[in-house]
Amino acid sequence: METSVLIGLLWTGLLETLYMTIVSTLVAYIIGLPIGVSLVLTDPNGIRPVSWYNKIVGFVVNVIRSVPFLILMIALMPYVRMVIGTGIGTQATVAVLIVAAAPFVARLVEQSLKEVDPGVIEAAQSMGASTLTIVTKVLLTEARPSLLNGAAVSTITILGYSAMAGVVGGGGLGDLAIKYGMYRYETTIMWITVVVLVILVQILQEIGIKVAHKLDNRI
Amino acid sequence: MSEPIITLKDVSKKFETRGGTVHALKDINLDIQPGDAQGIIGLSGAGKSTLVRCINLLEEPTEGKVIFDGKSLTGLSRKELNIERRKMAMIFQQFNLLMQRDAIGNICFPLEIAGVPKAEARKKAMELLKIVDLEDRAHSYPSQLSGGQKQRVAIARALATDPKVLLCDEATSALDPKTTRAILELLKKINKELGITLVVITHEMDVIKQVCNKVAIIEKGEIVEKGNVQDVFTKPKSQAARKLFFPDEREKKTEHRATTKHRVRLVYDTQNAYEPIISNMILELKAPINILYANMDVVNDIQKGQMVICLADDAQMAERQKQYLRDQKVEFIEIEEEGEDE
């Protein structure tokens, strides 16, 4: 294959991967963050305990998280086709990625928020802070470094999932690796995509650590 | 006497745990007068932290009423309670500052909650930093401050909303002795100069002696004794009070058990300490006494001396010695041999 064609393919694959990863991560956070917050608040030891809500939402989150991504993708295919009209390509992958990642994000957010010193929450309560104020000005702010580290982990996980979607023609670098590398035995392409993915993960992880560190005032 | 600022009426608190019901507080009745520095002292597990949390309803009492500034807090809606809480600040053993905010940001926090405009809040925070002597650390983060400085920030934060009451939950227990003294001085200043009522929770009698004018002693979830610090110090009625005020006395007692029959504890103000009462008594009655323990203490700004002496073996002579003390108007209590709890 000509180098220019190869570069063109890689470039498109990279853009598709970045698109899928970024959009799914953002939407997964829009859904997962409030769920994570609600799990912390309604915990038996939380500031607004609601046992039934906590149990049901916790259970649903666990169920989705325990289904392997590939199986979830195939299982959701008919619904995705119904909603967005197609079962392949980046749009379809983004839809599945969101469903898979939102519960994962919710748990990560929950873990981060639970690291916040209960004493500080108690102090805010003693000042007459409303639940909303405690969430925005205590929980989310105090847990900021941990949340950012979690965001790096989520992004990387979603990047990995997006590559997996290549198996069913999901687009992106994973798709490229499978179509050319596996089906056509062009191992060079396969290895190049793998290297590109490794570099992407490295960059994301570094950014996550740097930003989290920079925005942490405890150091 | 004016209306109490805080009234606890038959307050009980039960916790349901796996091991059954724990009765953390039993029928607590306490009136706290405005301007007072009310100490609440007890050993760990006595329920004092639960008690202070019942005052601002961080813990909701299972039974009973909490009245603050003429208003019953129990039964208020969450919103109404949050407004009342702004008049009643709290400081903690572990300071509980926001780690991601600098000193001034922490002090502004309660003002943000109360909806004070930012510029005004900043100005107020700077004034408060001056009061707690930390103007130069306005932009330091808690991780860059020492324990004492953190507690000063926490105190400034507590004062931000001009509260009527300051609840102090073991505020000096995480600090070294020197810093403890400085923080206690600051609390006293706040009580005396700003007229803010203090509720001081502690397990250390020294804290009570240094800051408080009233004390309540809590043991196993019950208030076993309460009153003026002076009175309780001079004539403690309960075992628990004696144990807390005179921890050394017990040691002396065991040491001298064999020889001791009539022991009394004298407490005297320093003005009558100038008179050599003991030596006069020996000279006059011509009977020996044995001094087992003596100590000077400053209680609520007044110097108090205390002494444990062993009177003559002869019962008649011991009675005469006691009469002598009574005639000299020396406060004393007899230390009983029986009924000691070990």
Q: Does A216 touch chain B (CB under 8 A)?
A: yes
Residues B251 and B122 in one domain: no
Task: Of B6, B11, B49, give the one whose Cα is nearest residue B203.
Answer: B49
CB A27 within 8 A of CB A212: no
Nearest-by-Cβ selection for B85 from A126, A133, A219: A126
Asked if the structure places residue B240 within a domain, the reply is: no
pLDDT of residue A97: 93
Residues B204 and B168 in one domain: yes
Q: In this complex, do A127 and B98 lie within 8 Å of one another by their Cβ atoms?
A: no
Asked if the structure places residue B342 within a domain, the reply is: no
Select from B188, B212, B235 the last residue of a domain. B235
* Structure confidence by residue, pLDDT tens digits, A121-165: 999 999 999 999 999 999 999 999 999 999 999 999 999 999 888
pLDDT of residue B258: 47
What ipTM does the predicted assembly reach? Answer: 0.86
* Structure confidence by residue, pLDDT tens digits, B122-170: 999 999 999 999 999 999 999 999 999 999 999 999 999 999 999 999 9
* Structure confidence by residue, pLDDT tens digits, A143-155: 999 999 999 999 9
Q: In this complex, do A120 and B109 lie within 8 Å of one another by their Cβ atoms?
A: no
- Mean pLDDT score, A24-49: 96
Residues B277 and B183 in one domain: no
Asked if the structure places residue B341 within a domain, the reply is: no
Q: What share of chain B is helix, strand, coil (3-state, %, to 5)?
A: 40, 30, 35
Nearest-by-Cβ selection for B58 from A125, A133, A218: A125
Question: In sequence order, what DSSP letters do the residues of B48-105 get, joined into one string?
Answer: HHHHHHHHTTSS--SEEEEEETTEE-TT--HHHHHHHHTTEEEE-TT----TTS-HHH
Residues B330 and B208 in one domain: no
Least confident residue range of A94-108, A196-210, B143-157, B233-247: B233-247
pLDDT of residue B231: 87
Residues B111 and B204 in one domain: yes
What's the pLDDT band for A167 if we cut at 50, 70, 90? confident
pLDDT of residue B306: 80
Residues B220 and B263 in one domain: no
Beta bridge partners of B38: B199, B214
Q: In this complex, do B114 and A128 lie within 8 Å of one another by their Cβ atoms?
A: yes
Q: Which residues of B touch A48 (CB under 8 A)?
A: none
Residues B221 and B262 in one domain: no
**Threshold 0.90, pTM exceeds:** no
Nearest-by-Cβ selection for B143 from A119, A129, A219: A219
Which residue range forms the structural domain that includes residue B44?
Answer: 6-235
Q: Which residues of A touch B110 (CB under 8 A)?
A: 127-128
**Spatial distance between the Cα atoms of A150 and A208, rounded to a whole number of angstroms:** 8
Residues B190 and B254 in one domain: no
pLDDT of residue A1: 66
Q: In this complex, do A217 and B83 lie within 8 Å of one another by their Cβ atoms?
A: no
H or E stretch including B12? strand B6-17
What's the pLDDT band for A178 if we cut at 50, 70, 90? confident
Q: What distance in Å separates residue A204's CA from the closest CA in chain B? A: 24
Select from B235, B260, B275 the last residue of a domain. B235
Asked if the structure places residue B123 within a domain, the reply is: yes
pLDDT of residue A17: 93
- Mean pLDDT score, A193-201: 91
Q: In this complex, do B98 and A138 lie within 8 Å of one another by their Cβ atoms?
A: yes
CATH architecture of A3-214: Orthogonal Bundle (1.10)
pLDDT of residue B249: 57
- Asked whether residue A67 carries a pLDDT value surpassing 50, the answer given is yes
Q: In this complex, do B90 and A217 lie within 8 Å of one another by their Cβ atoms?
A: no
Nearest-by-Cβ selection for A127 from B85, B94, B97: B85
Asked if the structure places residue B91 within a domain, the reply is: yes
In chain A, domain spans: 3-214
Residues B107 and B37 in one domain: yes
pLDDT of residue B60: 92
pLDDT of residue A104: 95
Q: Which residues of A touch B85 (CB under 8 A)?
A: 125-128
Kindly identify which residue of chain A lies nearest to residue B96, measuring between CA atoms.
Answer: A120
Q: Tell me how many domains chain B contains.
A: 2
**B249-263 in b/e burial notation, b at 16+ Cβ within 10 A?**
beebbeeeeeebebb
Task: Of B84, B121, B85, give the one whose Cα is nearest residue B104.
Answer: B121
Q: Which of A122, A126, A136 to mutate to test the interface with B (most CBs of B within 10 A)?
A: A126
Nearest-by-Cβ selection for B100 from A127, A130, A142: A142
Residues B64 and B184 in one domain: yes
Q: What distance in Å separates residue B60's CA from the closest CA in chain A? A: 13
**Spatial distance between the Cα atoms of A206 and B107, rounded to a whole number of angstroms:** 34
Q: Which of B18, B76, B91, B100 to mutate to test the interface with A (most CBs of A within 10 A)?
A: B100
Q: Which residues of A touch B97 (CB under 8 A)?
A: 120, 123
> For a pLDDT cut of 70, what percent of chain A falls above it?
100
Residues B250 and B285 in one domain: yes
> Which residue has tokens 């004070």?
B116
Where residue B144 sits, what CATH number does that domain have?
Answer: 3.40.50.300
Asked if the structure places residue B117 within a domain, the reply is: yes
Query: Which value, to the nearest 10 degrees, does the dihedral of the CA atoms of residues A165, A105, A58, B62 take?
Result: 180
CB B223 within 8 A of CB B216: yes
Q: What distance in Å separates residue A125's CA from the closest CA in chain B? A: 7
Residues B225 and B288 in one domain: no
| Residue with the larger pLDDT of the pair A183 and B116 | B116
Where residue B305 sits, what CATH number does that domain have?
Answer: 3.30.70.260
Q: In this complex, do B84 and A128 lie within 8 Å of one another by their Cβ atoms?
A: yes
Select from B176, B209, B235 the last residue of a domain. B235
Q: What distance in Å separates residue B174's CA from the closest CA in chain A? A: 14
Kindly identify which residue of chain B lies nearest to residue A218, measuring between CA atoms.
Answer: B143
Q: Does A218 touch chain B (CB under 8 A)?
A: yes
| Residues of chain B under the 50 pLDDT cut | 251, 256, 258-260, 338-342
Q: In this complex, do A128 and B96 lie within 8 Å of one another by their Cβ atoms?
A: no
